[in-house]
Structure 1
Amino acid sequence: MSAQHSKPNLNESQASELVQRVFSLSPSEIRPLPSYDDQNFYVATAEGGEYVLKIMNSKDSEDHNLIEVQTYTMSFLHQSGLPAQTALPTTSGLLMSLEEIDCGSGCQKYMVRLLTYLPGTTVSKLPLTPQLLYEIGKTAAQMDKILNEMTHPHLSVLQREGFKWSLSNVALLEGYLYVMDGDPLQEVMKSVIQQYKTSVVEKYPDFRKCINHGDFNDLNVLMQPDETDCYRISGILDFGDMNSGYYIHELAIAIMYMMIEHPNPIEVGGPVLAGWESVFPLNEVEKDCLYVLVLCRFCQSLLLACYSVTLDPENAEYLLITSRKGNKILRDLWELGKKQTEKAWFQSAAQFADRK
């Protein structure tokens, strides 16, 4: 991200001043939360509420309609029974405010929202039992089915032509391959991209369209234990990567990220797939492309993280979270091959579904 479209870098006193001035609340506690392109703060107020203050990076802050749709989506899911955050109105009754802030390199405009704080533990910190993975797959499918019913006057902004995180735009990764120069994984990535172009692109007419959350990962899903000590999803976070996509994209993304924290990653696909198909069964073409799309998401995540580190080296530890384990998983999955991987996933999914 270029300097003029930078990630915000407010200190805690600036964040506190924003909360007081824009939302008329009195922070009693404020602390930074990890983030990728934006800046987030946990805020507890003297009035008794808990919130997340979200300051968008200056580039995304320019797209008012996109942020409006993302904010509306969270409310729509919340009203439909899924645990998404909602935005608190500003003193003037709006759900967002464009603020001019100096983070140390001159004033820039950043879009600011105060979102409800959802309790729970991120999936990344929990043992990924088959039941928990099943719930993740089921919830991801429910979310996309609900989003498919949503209407909004600016919904067209989700087309996001050229959006590098969309699984419709895997070919764009070729422009970033140079950051892997000297790494043997670069050849695997080239092969995956080529396989996408030759075996997936032609199948898109048979994929079912929908709106994707686009980043259903182990840090964006919160869970809490229920009365039976099983875990239920208590929060779905971060709608910044929403785009017009396909059901199969969301499933591929969910499987890929859940593999990162699992001691035996190949075991993830079956239960996630079973949970997904309990809500939205795949057609044969979608099933045939799932393996390659999961590999593609690995390539997106690993390659774009390396690229981001070249722009923001100080944030390397957070940016490279996926890479620490993901590099090996991608290589292993590629070497295992499509046939063996699909056999493991689809047999496991069938067995899991039979037990339900």
Structure 2
Amino acid sequence: MAEQHAKPNVSQCAAAELMKKHYNLTPSEMRYLPSYDDQNFYVATVEGGQYVLKITNSEDSKDPTLLELQTYAMAFMHENGLPTQTALRTTTGQVMFLEDMDCGYGFQKYLVRLLTYLPGIPISKVPLSPQLLHKVGQTAARVDNILKEMKHPQLSVLQREGFIWNMSNILHLEKYMHALDGDPLQEVVKLVLHQYKTFVVPKYPSFRKCLIHGDLNDLNLLVQANESNGHRISGIIDFGDMNISYYVHELAITIMYMMLEHPEPLEVGGAILAGWESVFPLNEAEKDCLFWLVLSRFCQSLVLARYSVTLHPENEEYLMISSKKGIQILRRLSEIGKEQVENVWFQTAMQFKEQK
């Protein structure tokens, strides 16, 4: 989470000057794109291209290696056939540059990149059919399979052991539990953390390791209509949470976020699991822990959102957007229980396999 005053606040006029100075491109159209910590502009140019000018907050700009790795990973995945953005090089051949700017609280350094623009709309804007969820699972597994092959001298930087969104750090949530004091939800979270500690942790040696995207949520997957009145995935964006983790973490994260967007959350897991296993079948330990890992990600999201509210009460509405739905789903899943939820997921996944 970026510190206060770390978010850039660059005018369109100043952003257009950056485009001219570093890329020799002239914007014909510019508009702000939403972002929590950074500043993003959609830019169409007189020369004919469409781009996203991304100005990273001053806090994250202090770690250029991490951003360089994310940019490298995007290019690597693009070369391997996935719809990711790539960075345009500056007139001096750099994929990003540090700009010293005053955004209203003194001069600070901000890392700037110009990324290709991907067409499409967030997956949250379209109905999540079983076929589309199957594609989501397939895509998530392909992402990890491709990232597994990536080589880079600085790859170890992506271990990110202290990173709070790393799913290996679920038990770190205990430090933030006070944010739920007085809320009955605290008991549900405590139960999940207990199950994670006693049931999941001993099985970690059997999980397969890899580099994961780490945040395949409803805003980071873009879709476009296809010829058969359905949708295809046209973009995978935002690699800010990328970390060295486990295949099954990526799957749990993806299921959890797609559940938030579906009118019948329980129906989501089976279709995504079937798509995932068409690329990368889970082993027994991974299958056995999937339920608790999905619930653990809900807890991670809810506890950290509540904690953020204690730091930034003025942003409560924004920070708690997905939490209301998430709380209901977490309660429901814990009430239904592991066995019944798994029956639904695994039977649905089996039906998909039989149809193929």
Regarding TM over 0.5, the answer is: yes
- Report the counterpart of residue 192 of structure 1 in structure 2: 192
* Secondary structure of the structure 2 residue equivalent to 1:268: helix
Gaps of 5+ in 2: none
1:20 aligns with 2:20: yes
* Secondary structure of the structure 1 residue equivalent to 2:299: helix
How many Å apart are 1:109 and its aligned residue? 1.2
Q: Which amino acid aligns with 1:250?
A: E
- Report the counterpart of residue 274 of structure 1 in structure 2: 274
Gaps of 5+ in 1: none
Cα distance change of structure 1 residues 259 and 351 upon mapping to structure 2, 3 Å threshold: same
The whole-number CA distance in structure 2 between the counterparts of 1:322 and 1:223 is 20
- Report the counterpart of residue 153 of structure 2 in structure 1: 153
The whole-number CA distance in structure 2 between the counterparts of 1:111 and 1:93 is 15
1:344 aligns with 2:344: yes
How many Å apart are 1:177 and its aligned residue? 1.7
Structure 1 runs of 4+ aligned residues shifted over 6 Å read none
- Report the counterpart of residue 98 of structure 1 in structure 2: 98
The Cα offsets for residues 180-226 of structure 1, whole Å up to 9 and x where unpaired, read as 22222122112211211111111111000010000011100011122
Cα distance change of structure 1 residues 51 and 328 upon mapping to structure 2, 3 Å threshold: same
How many Å apart are 1:327 and its aligned residue? 1.3
Question: Over aligned residues, Cα RMSD in angstroms?
Answer: 1.5
- Report the counterpart of residue 246 of structure 1 in structure 2: 246
The Cα offsets for residues 295-344 of structure 1, whole Å up to 9 and x where unpaired, read as 11111112222333344455444433321311111111111111111111
1:293 aligns with 2:297: no
Query: Taking structure 2 as the reference length, what is the TM-score of the superposition?
Result: 0.96
The Cα offsets for residues 36-63 of structure 1, whole Å up to 9 and x where unpaired, read as 3222111111211111111112221111
Q: Which amino acid aligns with 1:72?
A: Y
- Report the counterpart of residue 111 of structure 1 in structure 2: 111
The whole-number CA distance in structure 1 between the counterparts of 2:99 and 2:177 is 36
Cα distance change of structure 1 residues 174 and 14 upon mapping to structure 2, 3 Å threshold: farther
1:284 aligns with 2:284: yes
* Secondary structure of the structure 2 residue equivalent to 1:214: coil
* Secondary structure of the structure 1 residue equivalent to 2:234: strand
Q: Which amino acid aligns with 2:162?
A: G
The whole-number CA distance in structure 2 between the counterparts of 1:195 and 1:6 is 37
Cα distance change of structure 1 residues 159 and 240 upon mapping to structure 2, 3 Å threshold: same
- Report the counterpart of residue 86 of structure 1 in structure 2: 86
171-180 or 129-138, which moves further after superposition?
171-180
The whole-number CA distance in structure 2 between the counterparts of 1:317 and 1:26 is 37
The whole-number CA distance in structure 1 between the counterparts of 2:287 and 2:346 is 9
The Cα offsets for residues 232-266 of structure 1, whole Å up to 9 and x where unpaired, read as 11000000000000000000000000000100000
Query: Taking structure 1 as the reference length, what is the TM-score of the superposition?
Result: 0.96
Percentage of identical aligned residues: 66
Whether the 8 Å contact between 1:77 and 1:146 is mirrored in structure 2 is: yes
Cα distance change of structure 1 residues 18 and 319 upon mapping to structure 2, 3 Å threshold: farther
- Report the counterpart of residue 236 of structure 1 in structure 2: 236
Whether the 8 Å contact between 1:2 and 1:311 is mirrored in structure 2 is: no
Cα distance change of structure 1 residues 71 and 329 upon mapping to structure 2, 3 Å threshold: same
Whether the 8 Å contact between 1:212 and 1:242 is mirrored in structure 2 is: yes
Q: Which amino acid aligns with 1:224?
A: Q
- Report the counterpart of residue 124 of structure 1 in structure 2: 124
Q: Which amino acid aligns with 1:93?
A: G
The whole-number CA distance in structure 1 between the counterparts of 2:37 and 2:308 is 9
Cα distance change of structure 1 residues 176 and 283 upon mapping to structure 2, 3 Å threshold: same
The whole-number CA distance in structure 2 between the counterparts of 1:319 and 1:75 is 31
The whole-number CA distance in structure 2 between the counterparts of 1:5 and 1:167 is 28
- Report the counterpart of residue 73 of structure 1 in structure 2: 73
How many Å apart are 1:21 and its aligned residue? 2.1
1:259 aligns with 2:259: yes
* Secondary structure of the structure 1 residue equivalent to 2:340: helix
